């Protein structure tokens, strides 16, 4: 991936489009927002694939992500909690959901990249 600096922010050149990034939210996406987006996109896509593979139908799906930061150490992210809120078409056993959560944490490349330095949790909630 290539980047260029222009007008006080970085622009990433991607296959899809240009991605404007800056600590200033009026100039682009903040790095913190991109980090959470990366984690949710990776784990969320994996969740959808696993549900399809297991033939578990759902009506709706939305995610929330909360992060805790350490302001005394470069404002680094110390924990991320991702919640997938799913409206299933049929009742799903809690044991099945816990196994899927574990598969996601163990197989999402973005989560695995940070798992040693950031406390990450992924929870599926049946709406």
Per domain, the residue ranges of the chain are: 31-126
Mapped onto helix, strand or coil, the DSSP state of residue 44 is helix
- pLDDT for res 99: 98
pLDDT in tens, the chain (127 residues): 999 999 999 999 999 999 999 999 999 999 999 999 999 999 999 999 999 999 999 999 999 999 999 999 999 999 999 999 999 999 999 999 999 999 999 999 999 999 999 999 999 999 8
**66 closest CA partner among 30, 120, 26, 127:** 120
**Helices of type H across 1-127:** 31-53, 94-107, 109-114
- pLDDT for res 38: 98
- pLDDT for res 25: 95
pLDDT one-digit tens code per residue, 8-24: 999 999 999 999 999 99
Residues 6+ away with beta carbon under 8 Å from 45: none
Domain 31-126 CATH assignment equals 3.40.30.10: no
- pLDDT for res 29: 97
Could you tell me the pTM of the whole model?
Answer: 0.93
């Amino acid at each position: 991936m290539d980047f260029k600096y222009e007008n006080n922010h970085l622009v990433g050149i991607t296959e899809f489009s240009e991605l404007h990034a800056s600590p200033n939210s009026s100039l682009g996406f903040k790095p913190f927002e991109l980090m959470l987006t990366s984690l949710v996109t990776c784990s969320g896509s994996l969740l959808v694939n696993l549900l399809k593979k297991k033939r578990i139908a759902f009506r709706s799906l939305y995610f929330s992500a909360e992060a805790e930061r350490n302001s005394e150490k470069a404002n680094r992210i110390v924990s991320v909690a991702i919640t997938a809120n799913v409206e299933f078409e049929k009742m799903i056993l809690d044991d099945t959901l816990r196994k899927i959560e574990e598969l996601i944490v163990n197989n999402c490349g973005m989560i695995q990249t940070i798992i040693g330095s950031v406390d990450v949790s992924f929870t599926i909630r049946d709406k």
